[in-house]
Structure formats: structure tokens, C-alpha cells
Amino acid sequence: MREFIPVTNLNNGLPTYETILNRDFTTPKGAKSCVTLTDNGVCAMVGGREINRFMHTPRIYVDNAATSPMPEAVLQAMMPYLGVSFGNPSSTHSYGQEAQQALETARKRIAQAIGAYNNEIYFTSGGTEADNWIVHSVSKQQAKKGKHLISTKIEHNAMLRPLENLQADGFEITLLEPDRFGMITPEQLTQAIREDTLLVSIMSANNVVGTVLPIQALCAAAHKRNVLFHTDAVQAVGHIRLDVHALGVDFLSISAHKFHGPKGVGALFSKLGLPVTPLIAGGGQEKGRRSGTENVASLVGMAAALEASVTDLDAHLQSIARLRDKLIAGILKIPGAHLTGDPVHRLPGLASFLFEQVPGQLLIPELDKIGICASSGAACSAASKDASHVLLAMGYPPALAHGALRLSLSRYNTEAEIDVILEALPNIVRSVRQKQSV
């Protein structure tokens, strides 16, 4: 349903009529204006929804795999440590001890959320640092065993780039080929392991197509040959049920902003008995393993966000998966649309597509103009005009891989938003195709 309400534009003070999607808010009875535009055309919040600067409609955010919105409860948990409780956790006075206590409470909550022990959690600046750290650590500690590491062609660049650096230093890297659905099998891994293999690193869930990999079985295959196993779980933690000890992994990477926490903080899980070699030298924080004054406020926020994400997780996952499946069913009705990733073993909130004769870099801005915020793949590579290395590794031709669209949902998305996307997308795809054919 759409309704027209008067909007006062501060540029000229005159009321104008704009179309507002009538979903989560209502117009106050008798109101002459319920939205006010700022000078740059961005409206104020209305009933918790921001009004788009192009069309003055509430923006729909479906790019949660890039980063996720932080709820008020997480912000409020952080606020004391941005103000009155500002101490350095390394200080011995009361301010410092307050900060240290907050830090250790956050560590405990994060550990409990993933089934770890408190002293198996090391705080980092995010998933990228955690991935780099484990590659650095294992290559240093296990150097006498050999110089061979195994990963996959669908990993995030946070893993692929450090491996490239090792390769330049004389290490041998084997990257496993995924199938058409982005899946890697234990049999593939077993065949690739050698006597001199130091580490296997395989992501828990792919950030481009959403395929969830069989980490427990892959880890078992590595351990059967006495090889350490790491998983980049940045897209999995907080989105699927995960227990590090049940999985059997030796190391695991986490990033807070993927599960409604603040940016710039994350963690590395390192199994007891497997100490990591420091990547960053300095004051000896994090039990001497990771130097640098800890970002107490953000780590408290990370713990609050993760705890909230895993609370009632099953109910959230069912609700999100239902919206995802509705999105998939509707989009596949568009001529020339293809679903990418495993149709069954995939993240509850991620749906990814390819459109024939539709470059993704043209599709995304057209969606943004009408207030739909999506992506064509990894945010870190969004500025690149190259096709996703993940899609190419899965066997898609470059011409088709360029037409990628990734829609990633969270528990804050609504069915009404899915309806808007399904109404708008076919026309946008048709329009882009017509422009391309001219």
C-alpha cells in the first residue's frame, strides 16, 4: 500500500507530496507534515526508517554480508566505555580495572556464544587481522615440518593475499577448486594433503554466494593427517549455530560488524595448547600475543551483539530463511536469472544471482536510486570492475559473472521489503538490458 503525505522541504519551506511506503509507520492524525527534508535532501527518521535522498522513500538495506546495522541495545552497552569508564585496561588503578573487568566479561560472553573457553579468545581488529595472524603464526611455528598450505579458490582476500605473500617467500600453496555450487569436499582435501602440509584454511560460509561448507568433516580430514585446521567464520558466526569444540577446529576468525556489532573489532579463537606467534609486537596485551591497547567499548559492543544474535537463533534463522526463499522464488521468475551457491547448504540470509546481459555495476546504482541498498559481491572488492574470483572459480563465464547481485538479509528485514524488491527488480533488469542493447 502507498499513501501520499505532505513533506516540508527546508530548501524552500513549501510542502510537497512524496510517495512513502506505508509499512512501519503511520501518519499522525491531522499532521500537516510528518517528514522534514534536510538541505542535502536526506530526510529525518520516520518511525525508525530513513527516507531516501533520491526518491524520499524508506531505504531498504539488503547488504548485511558487507556490514550490518548496530541496534540501540549494543550502542547503549558501549556508551559507558566511551565516557565515564574510559580507563586503559592495562592500568592498575580503579579506572583501568573497571576497563579490564569489562574486557574479560566481554571475552567470556563471546567464548560462551561459540562454545569456547575464555582463554581461547584473542581480540583483534577484525577478521582480516585474524586471518593474517594465523597464516603468519603457523608458517613461523611449523616451518621445520614443511612449506605447504592448503586453502580454496573461494576464500576472502583476507586469506588469499597472505597466502600469496607466503608463496612469494618460497611456500607452496594449494587452492582447492569448488564445484558449481561453491562446495569443497573432504575427499578433495584428503587428496591434496601432503607430508609437509602445515595448515588447511577453509571458510565456514562463502561471502559471495552463501554456500555453507562442511567444516566438521573437512576438519576431521585434516586432523586425520595431523594437519592444523583454520576456518574463516566471519560470515557464519551469529548466522548459523556454531560450536568450535564440536566442529573440532584449531583456529577460527570472527568479525563483529557482520553480526550487528561495531566495526574494527573481531577475535581469533585458538584452541588450548596451540599458542599463536604474535603478529603485532608492542606492549604485550592479550597475554603477550597481540599488542595494542584494547578497544574496550567496541569489544563490549561485540559481546552484546553476538550474545543477542545467538539468543533465539533458531527462530530468527527460520524467519530469515523464509524471506530469503521468497526472494529466490520471485527473482528466478525474471528471464535470464540464475541462483548461485548451494541451493540447500546456504546461509539463511544470503541469496545471490546472476543476470544475463546485465552488468552488476549498472544494476546496483539503479537499485540504490529507488532506495534498495544491495551489492554485487564482496564489499572489499566493490570498486573493482572485474568479475568475482569466487564466481569464476565456480566455473561461470566472465560475461555472466559480471551480472552478479547479492542480497543479504538480517532479522531486521521485513516481508514488505521483500515485496518491494520483487516489484522493482524485474523492471530495473529490463531497463538495464534495454540500455545495454542500444
**Which sequence positions are flagged as catalytic?**
380
Is the separation of the CB atoms in 201 and 228 below 8 Å?
Answer: no
Phi and psi of 151, rounded to 5°? -145, -155
Q: Are 182 and 212 in contact (CB under 8 A)?
A: no
Beta bridge partners of 337: 355
CA distance 248 to 231: 11
Strands (DSSP E) contained in 31-141 are 36-37, 45-46, 49-50, 60-61, 121-124
- Measured on CA atoms in the order 277, 278, 284, 287, is the torsion positive or negative? negative
Q: Strand ranges (DSSP E) for 202-330? A: 228-232, 251-255, 266-270
| Cell numbers found for residue 365 | 546504482
Among the listed residues 428, 404, 413, 351, the one whose alpha carbon sits nearest the alpha carbon of residue 58: 413
Q: Which residue has the cell 505532505?
A: 6
Sequence-ordered list of residues with C-beta below 8 angstroms from that of 69, at least 6 positions apart, any chain:
61, 260, 410, 412
Measured at the CA of 88, the angle between CA 84 and CA 92, to 5 degrees, comes to 105
**Are the C-beta atoms of residues 279 and 268 closer than 8 Å to each other?**
no
